[in-house]
Structure 1
Amino acid sequence: MSLYQTLSRLAIAVVLLAWTYPYLQGRQQALILLLKNKPEKLPEVNSFSSYSHKLINKVRNCEDGLIVEEEALAILSCDPGRDLWNTVMGTFYPKRSLIPNGQLWIYRYDLPDDSEKALAPIELVDYPGEFSFHPLGVEYDRDTSTLFVCNHHLAGSRVDLFTLDLSANKPVARHTQTILHPLIRTPNSIIALNEKEFYVTNDHYIRRKDFALGALAETYLGLPGGTVAHVNLAAEPPAVRTVARVPFANGVTLLNDSTVAVASSSAAEIRLYKRLDNGSLEQSGIIKVPFLPDNLSTDGDGVLLIAGHPHPPTLDKLVHHRRSCVSEDGVVPQECWKSTAPTWVSKWTAEKGLEDLYVSSREFGSACTAAKDATRNVGIVTGLYENGILVWGE
């Protein structure tokens, strides 16, 4: 081999190494977390001034929760049927008629716990066709009372829109539109710009129901199959386009008027994007976190709240255990409702960076959302497979 050929191959190797180094470094960090964050090694951290495990045996498996500060209430997205139907974690119970539907709840955290009005289910009406409701991410445009829901319907995942009426004795949400689109394959989380325009994350390209091993490879190899889609319902027909590709794209929130934050669960990071006038996104920064982030929210003071999973293998173990609890008639007994997967909740500001709020492998488990009413200093944490929610103050 000539000197020229040797140098050429060396140059190609150097270029390939430089090109793949950020990816390899990111995968190394994610793999280190699997070892470092074993439940027995996790520190117990609690910086809350007060906290309480509430709504036990009333709501469970709540994937998302959002604060409507003007109304002093939270909207909770919960699904007892997640034990039998979870398209992200690969749970597909064959007896579909036995799978219970999920439920949205109004939780008025400013009322006493024993008040009859403190917790109320939202009645969903005018849903077309077969009613199948397995909610993940929820969003609310208060100006128009528009409620957006990522619904993992048994017949295929979609985004459902409702008009929410909070004035009646019992809250009612009237279905107005269903969005099914090839670019909304695996909808997970939504952030609305107004009643006609929003961003929705797709956590994977390869769906667990289509190719389980491929979906797992996409997750653990950190492949950028997840996306952020921009949806404009004012266009005719509605315009949907991919504006970012993110490994395991999960939670999404507006950090401010011009910045969108997206959780990448596979990469253990939050990606920041500049929002352009046409809805496109341009990456502007990265926040590394010591766990796999799930959902995101921004409180009234502009603080980014991040909840997630320190140790995915333990979460997988919990999912398998929950499946083993399912009886022949599709019922999961109450003794199986407690989560055993650890929790990590942090907050981030540009001034102070990342600060841990709550880390536990013994108390409240499988946290996936943290949200806060900054005016009243009341926050909530929801758990993907937990019984009840955590209510806290700083």
Structure 2
Amino acid sequence: MALLSRSQFTRLILVLGLIWYRSGALFKNCILYKSSFPTGYIANGDYAKDCNTVRDPEHERHESLNSCEDSTFWELRDAEGRVLERPVIVTCDPGRKAWNTVMGPLRNPEPRGGLWLYVHGAPTTTGRRVATKPRVLAPDVAPNKAHRIVLKDYPEGHDFHPLGVEVWPSYAGNSSNLYVINHARKRTTIEQFVLSPERPLEAEYVRTISTPYFVSPNALALTTPDAFYVSNDHLITRRWPIIGYVLPVIESVFALPLGFVSHVTLTPPGSSGSSISKHNFAKLFVPFPNGISLNALGNRLAVSSSSLAQVLIYKRDPATDALPQLINAVQLPFTPDNIHYTESRISPVEEIIVAGHPNFIDLSKVAANKTGAAAASWVVAIVPKKENGKPETAFDLEAPVSANSKLPTDGARWTLQTLFQSSGVESEGGFGASTTGLRDPETGNFFVPGLYAEGGLMVCKPSN
């Protein structure tokens, strides 16, 4: 084989330098080096006592709560907008190791995934019991238990492989629009349902939303009951014949900016013609945009870039839904998955909770069903600093594996706090492949779905 010429060698060095500049942190932290994680760690609590997986043993494995991707709070509010209850909705797909349009393989799309509802009770926190509020959900839905949600009137023969999920709050007991990204066999769509607090275990099918612009939808962030942002994580997907085995991996690992975020406005249900009234490309050229989340004021949209190991925070114009400015890029010590803005328990400023995967190689082994493989979990909070200042060299020091051990500094306007870690070895009590982190701002209850976890949802109720 002929040696490279000087010009070719120079070009190769420039290309490799560019790749390292863009993705060096990801290569170093998530591919080259592997940390030793504890069986389990939960901030302000005792993992062994405070954390448990929830899965109803009465369900057979193919219908059980395992291999879960996304979760969201369904906020049940009174007429004045005060939150009375926050049950959790979780998307799970026990057949994920046979059908995964992001990581592969694409062998068997037949078994359907499912939606689950978990109602959590109010624990004693910091020596005080959380005040009891009026019950909104139907009284026969038992707390501290996972309940499968039936898909009412869902079309026969229509696949259901749920990924991202979002639900609009219920006010004074009215019904909520529920949207689920569905990685079906032919193409990815968004399924719309209606969910009522009176019948919370019955999601009534409304319609399937589809457009050629839905190349690879991953996560949702609602702006109204009938409009949302949606991330498209890849331009080249696993569905492509032949090249689908290689090019999506190249797009991911080399952080090629081919993903995008769209804003979609829907027509009223039952309208003739398309279900989409308006589609805008809100942000183009994002490397592997994964989770997205809108803050409470509606003026910030956070997008996790899995390829860059960053959370990108954009200024949002609520009048136009445009994202005119990148405000901050927060570097993370792992590959981020789903993200959620959440109320802080100690500050009026919202935090962003990010879950992700510390080691891409381990995650790939679990996806390939390798014997003995385990993928660790890591969930952090992006905590705004009270005042902008200099990046600190010492932060997140209480975690077994500190974010500080992976990153030299935090940011001028933010720092990182580890909320959850686990080795992912389930036979030893660990919990693997964390995809989402949810924290109830009132009770402190904490929820983590696991992409390939047999016990698909970890529930922690920290006692401190």
State the Cα deviation string for residues 68-114 of structure 1 (Å, max 9, x = none). Answer: 354231001111121211100111115x4xx31011011011189xx
Shift, 1:121, TM fit:
1.1
**Percent identity between the two aligned chains:** 31
Contact 2:314 2:327 in 1 (8 A): yes
Q: Quick one: distance in 2 between partners of 1:165 and 1:83? A: 32
Q: Quick one: distance in 1 between partners of 2:35 and 2:335? A: 14
Q: Quick one: distance in 1 between partners of 2:320 and 2:38? A: 44
Task: Please give the residue correspondences for 1:182-197 in structure 2 after superposition, counting only pairs within 5 Å.
Answer: 182-197=212-227
Q: Of 336, 347, 350, which residue of structure 1 is paired with 2:381?
A: 347
Task: Please give the residue correspondences for 1:11-50 in structure 2 after superposition, counting only pairs within 5 Å.
Answer: 24-35=20-31, 37-40=33-36, 46-50=42-46
Task: Please give the residue correspondences for 1:109-258 in structure 2 after superposition, counting only pairs within 5 Å.
Answer: 109-110=120-121, 116=142, 118-128=145-155, 130-143=157-170, 145-168=176-199, 171-210=201-240, 211-234=244-267, 237-244=276-283, 245-256=285-296, 257-258=298-299
State the Cα deviation string for residues 4-55 of structure 1 (Å, max 9, x = none). Answer: xxxxx9xxx9xxx8x9987642222211113554154789754241431221
Shift, 1:166, TM fit:
2.7
Q: Quick one: distance in 2 between partners of 1:34 and 1:68? A: 33
State the Cα deviation string for residues 143-170 of structure 1 (Å, max 9, x = none). Answer: 45000100111221111111112313x6
State the Cα deviation string for residues 116-138 of structure 1 (Å, max 9, x = none). Answer: 55321111122245221000010
Asked if 1:63 is matched to 2:69, the reply is yes
SS of structure 1 residue aligned to 2:435: strand
Letter in 1 for 2:99: W
Asked if 1:87 is matched to 2:149, the reply is no
Unpaired stretches in structure 2, ≥5 consecutive residues: 1-6, 58-63, 76-82, 124-140, 269-273, 345-349, 386-413
Which residue of 2 is the match for residue 295 of structure 1? 338
Which residue of 1 is the match for residue 321 of structure 2? 279
Which residue of 1 is the match for residue 458 of structure 2? 390
Moved more, 21-30 or 77-86: 21-30
Moved more, 81-90 or 307-316: 81-90
Instruction: Provide the aligned C-alpha RMSD in A.
Output: 2.8
Q: Quick one: distance in 2 between partners of 1:278 and 1:217? A: 34
Contact 1:310 1:344 in 2 (8 A): yes
User: Closer, same or farther in 2 for the Cα pair 1:194/1:48, shift >3 Å?
Assistant: same
Which residue of 1 is the match for residue 361 of structure 2? 313
Which residue of 2 is the match for residue 4 of structure 1? none
Shift, 1:189, TM fit:
0.5
Contact 2:31 2:361 in 1 (8 A): no
Q: Quick one: distance in 1 between partners of 2:32 and 2:248? A: 24
Contact 1:296 1:304 in 2 (8 A): yes
User: Closer, same or farther in 2 for the Cα pair 1:354/1:79, shift >3 Å?
Assistant: same
Letter in 2 for 1:225: L
Contact 1:187 1:203 in 2 (8 A): yes
SS of structure 2 residue aligned to 1:82: coil
Task: Please give the residue correspondences for 1:310-389 in structure 2 after superposition, counting only pairs within 5 Å.
Answer: 310-321=358-369, 340-351=374-385, 353-361=415-423, 362=425, 363-388=430-455, 389=457
Q: Quick one: distance in 2 between partners of 1:148 and 1:201? A: 14
Contact 1:90 1:209 in 2 (8 A): no
Letter in 1 for 2:384: A
User: Closer, same or farther in 2 for the Cα pair 1:356/1:36, shift >3 Å?
Assistant: farther
State the Cα deviation string for residues 208-257 of structure 1 (Å, max 9, x = none). Answer: 12022111110011001111111011497521222113111100001342
Which residue of 1 is the match for residue 78 of structure 2? none
The structure richer in strand per residue is 1
Shift, 1:197, TM fit:
1.1
Q: Quick one: distance in 1 between partners of 2:98 and 2:197? A: 31
Shift, 1:178, TM fit:
1.5
Contact 1:197 1:234 in 2 (8 A): no
Shift, 1:303, TM fit:
1.8
Which residue of 1 is the match for residue 133 of structure 2? none
The structure richer in helix per residue is 1
SS of structure 1 residue aligned to 2:380: strand
Which residue of 2 is the match for residue 73 of structure 1? 87
Letter in 2 for 1:278: T
User: Closer, same or farther in 2 for the Cα pair 1:41/1:384, shift >3 Å?
Assistant: closer
Q: Quick one: distance in 2 between partners of 1:234 and 1:275? A: 23
SS of structure 2 residue aligned to 1:27: helix
Letter in 2 for 1:230: H
Moved more, 231-240 or 220-229: 231-240
Letter in 2 for 1:149: V
Asked if 1:304 is matched to 2:303, the reply is no
Shift, 1:307, TM fit:
0.3
Q: Quick one: distance in 1 between partners of 2:306 and 2:335? A: 5
Shift, 1:358, TM fit:
2.0
User: Closer, same or farther in 2 for the Cα pair 1:255/1:142, shift >3 Å?
Assistant: closer
SS of structure 2 residue aligned to 1:92: coil
Shift, 1:275, TM fit:
0.8
Give the TM-score, by structure 2 length. 0.72
Contact 1:53 1:364 in 2 (8 A): no
Shift, 1:360, TM fit:
2.4
